[in-house]
Amino acid sequence: MARLGKCSLNVAAAVIMLALILPSLSYATTYYVGDSFGWSYNIDLDSWVGDKTFYVNDVLVFVYDNTYHNVVSVDANGYNTCSTNSNYGIFTSGNDEITLTSAGTWYFICSYHCDFANQKMAVIVNSS
């Protein structure tokens, strides 16, 4: 009987550990930027971002016509000045998935329409 008690105790300990670990392994959310409008200057991207809470490992999907748009992951300066350089990640497929791998502010612009059409967005990513 003592053996059964020890086994039950081990199972209980394993269940408690899983209960503590699983919340940090929660499923990531996939967001389609701009919803049905896609990545475009025809939508207020600040408002689109504003009603969402983003977490590490969430995924942003940028759907757009790559004849006219792209997605550039920039720093705060690139965001504020609508400028790019070779250090930035440039996406051009028209269906780009970007995983938010760290907490902080992530900045995205369209290098064709950032300046005159304000096609850019800043996403604040929370750790948990």
- Could you tell me the CATH number of the domain that includes residue 89? 2.60.40.420
Q: Is 47 left (phi over 0), alpha (psi -120 to 50) or beta?
A: alpha
At residue 96, the 3 state secondary structure works out as: strand
pTM greater than the 0.85 cutoff:
no
For 22-56, write each residue's pLDDT tens digit: 455 568 999 999 999 999 999 999 999 999 999 99
Check pLDDT > 50 for residue 20.
Answer: no
Residue 44 domain boundaries: 28-126
48 found inside a domain: yes
11 found inside a domain: no
Give 36-94 as a 3 state SS string: HHCCCCCCCHHHHHHCCCEECCCEEEEECCCCCCCEEEECHHHHHHCCCCCCCEEECCC
Q: How many domains is the chain partitioned into structurally?
A: 1
Residue 18 binned pLDDT confidence (cut-offs 50, 70, 90): very low
86 found inside a domain: yes
52 found inside a domain: yes
97 found inside a domain: yes
pLDDT at 40: 97
15 found inside a domain: no
113 found inside a domain: yes
